[in-house]
Chains A and B, each alone.
Chain A
C-alpha cells in the first residue's frame, strides 16, 4: 500500500529555467500514472525530484504520508529506471541486481533466491552470469527494471525506458512492464513523450507543458475530451482549425459548422475519424490532396479553400482521388477559445439538420 503525494512542487534551475511550476499530483496505491509531454516540458525533472536527484525549489512530496522532500535518494523507498539503462558495466547481471540487496545486508542465499526470482519475472531466467554489455538493448532495459524491482520499492519511477529501442520491441516491453506492474500492484510513475505509450499503459495520464499540468485524466478521457487545444493536438491526430464564430456558426474559408458559443475567434478540433467526407462538385469545402491506404482504413489529406491542411479517416480510400472536391461533415467537434474548452459535442440529428440548411 503506497501512495505518492506531490504538492505545489516547483523547480527553478540555477540558470533560471522554471522546469517544473507549482505541480501537484496524487498517485493512488497500485496506480500507473504517465507523465506525458513534449521534450523539455519538465517530466524528467519532476521524476528526478521524486527519486531524490533534484531538490525542489518549493513544495512538498510525501510517500505514505512521510515527507521525502529532502531525503537523499539512497534513503528513499523509490526505484528508478533510467532511459540509458545505467547498468554498471563492470558487474555482471547478477551483481547488478545483488548490489542493492548487499547494501541492505541481505543474506547471500536470500540474495540469490530473490535475484533469480526477479530475473524470471522479467523473462531473463539464467542470465545472471552474463556481462551487461553482451545483452541486447531490450534485455538491458529488462535488467534495469529488475534491478529496481528486486528491492521492492514503494514507488517505481521510469524515465522513458524504451526510448532507445525500436518500435516493435518497445510495444512488447510496454505490455510486459504493464503486466508486471499490475501483477506486483506497484505504484508507478512513468515518463514518456510518446502518446501511444501513455494511452496503452496508463491508469491516468498527466499531460505536461512548460512544467505545468494541462490535464490529468484517464487515457480514454484525455483522448476523447482534451481540455485544451495543446492536449488535443498532442494526443492522437487532431485537426485544429482556427476560425471565427458568428451567430452560432463556426467558419473558416469555405468550411462552416454550427457551434453554440458566443461570437468571436475560436479553434475547432476534430478527430480524423470524426470527419465524414463526401464527394462534392458545386459546394466543395475542400480539395483532396493525397490519399493513403492503410489496408484497414484510409487517410485523406485535404486542403480547405485557403490551403489549411486537415486529415480525415475514410473506410473506402478508393473512392477519393487527389484533386477532387469534397464536402466535410464533422460528427463530433470541440471548440476552444483562449486555450479553454468552450464547447464539446457530438452533432445531434437536430444540429445536423441545421447544417443542411447552412450548406444549402
Chain B
C-alpha cells in the first residue's frame, strides 16, 4: 500500500533538452574548441595541442579588421536608418486608419514569405542597372529591406499596447502630438522597441546572402569573409576563430534581453 505519488519522468522535456543540446550547443562547442586548437588530428577525440596561434594569425590579417569595421558600420547604419523610417511608420500603423493600411502592413511579411535568394537575385538585377552592386549603400539598402519585418511588426504591437489615455493626458497638459510621441509613447513602448532594434542589429550583422550578392567583392562583411575562409582555406581554425568572433554580438544581445525580460518591463511593453 503506497500513497506515494511518483513524479512521472518528463520524457518530452528530456528529449527536447537533449535535441536542443545536440543541435545548438554541440556545434558551438566543436567550433569553440577548434578556435583554440593548434593541432587536432584524426582520430583523436580531443585536440593534441591547444593554443592561440590561429587567433594571432587571424587577428594579424588586415582583411579581418576591415571586415569587422565594415560589419559594424553596416549594422549601425542599417539599424539607425531602419529605426528612423520604421518607428514613425509603425506608429502610424498602430494609431491611424488610412486606405491600404492592411495591404501595406502584410506586404512586409510577403518579403519573408517567399524564398529569399530568388528575391535577392531579382533585386541584384535591378541594383546592377542602378550601379549599386558592390557599393556600401547597395548593401545598406538590401539589408534595410530585411529589417522591415521586425522593425514594423514588433513596434506596431508595442505602440498598440500603450494606453491611449496616457497619450491624451499628455496632450491635456500641453504636449503637441510630436512631443507626446517622444516623451510618452516611445518610452512606454521602449523595452519592446529596444528588443526590435537589437534583433535588427544582430540580424544585419549576421546577414550573409544579401551582403555577398550585392556587396561582393568590394564590400566584405565578417560573415562573408568567414564563408570565403571556409571555402578557400584548408585550415578549419580560421573559420572557427571568425565564428567565435561573431558570437560577441549574440552574447551582448542575449545579456541585454535577459536584463529586459527580468526587469518585467518587457512584459509591460507588451501591455502585460
Cα distance, A52 to B169, chains bound together (Å): 11
Interface string of A293-304 (1 = CB under 8 A from B): 000000000000
B184 on interface, CB distance cutoff 8 Å:
yes
B66 on interface, CB distance cutoff 8 Å:
no
Task: Give the chain A neighbours of B268 by CB distance below 8 A.
Answer: 89
Task: Give the chain B neighbours of A99 by CB distance below 8 A.
Answer: 170, 173, 175, 183
The chain B residue with its CB closest to the CB of A90 is B187
Output the residue of A86, A100, A151 with the most chain B CB within 10 A: A86
Interface string of B42-86 (1 = CB under 8 A from A): 000000000000000000000000000000000000000000000
Cα distance, A100 to B168, chains bound together (Å): 13
Q: Is B173 within 8 A of A82, CB to CB?
A: no
Q: Is B184 within 8 A of A88, CB to CB?
A: yes
Q: Is A78 within 8 A of B170, CB to CB?
A: no
Cα distance, A326 to B171, chains bound together (Å): 60
Partner of B169, one of A75, A78, A82: A82
Task: Give the chain B neighbours of A89 by CB distance below 8 A.
Answer: 166, 188, 268
CB-CB under 8 A for A73 and B188, given A100-B173, A104-B174? no
Task: Give the chain B neighbours of A86 by CB distance below 8 A.
Answer: 163, 165-166, 168-169
Secondary structure call for the B interface: helix
B172 on interface, CB distance cutoff 8 Å:
yes
Cα distance, A68 to B32, chains bound together (Å): 69
Partner of B170, one of A84, A88, A104: A88
Q: Is B169 within 8 A of A103, CB to CB?
A: no
A37 on interface, CB distance cutoff 8 Å:
no
Cα distance, A198 to B83, chains bound together (Å): 49
Interface string of A219-233 (1 = CB under 8 A from B): 000000000000000
How near does chain B come to A91, taking the closest CB pair, in angstroms? 8
A72 on interface, CB distance cutoff 8 Å:
yes
How many interface contacts (CB-CB < 8 Å) are there between A and B? Answer: 65
* A residues 52-89 in Cβ contact with B at 8 Å: 52-53, 72-75, 78-80, 82, 84, 86-89
B203 on interface, CB distance cutoff 8 Å:
no
Cα distance, A90 to B190, chains bound together (Å): 10
Task: Give the chain B neighbours of A73 by CB distance below 8 A.
Answer: 168, 171-172
Partner of A80, one of B166, B169, B176, B183: B169
A51 on interface, CB distance cutoff 8 Å:
yes
Cα distance, A144 to B163, chains bound together (Å): 15
A148 on interface, CB distance cutoff 8 Å:
yes
CB-CB under 8 A for A151 and B165, given A88-B184, A90-B187, A99-B183? no
CB-CB under 8 A for A151 and B174, given A53-B168, A86-B166? yes
* A residues 159-180 in Cβ contact with B at 8 Å: none
Binding site for B on A (CB under 8 A): 51-53, 72-75, 78-80, 82, 84, 86-90, 99-100, 103-104, 144, 147-148, 151
Inter-chain pairs besides A52-B172, A53-B168, A147-B173, 6 sampled, C-beta below 8 Å = A51-B168, A53-B171, A90-B190, A99-B183, A144-B169, A151-B174
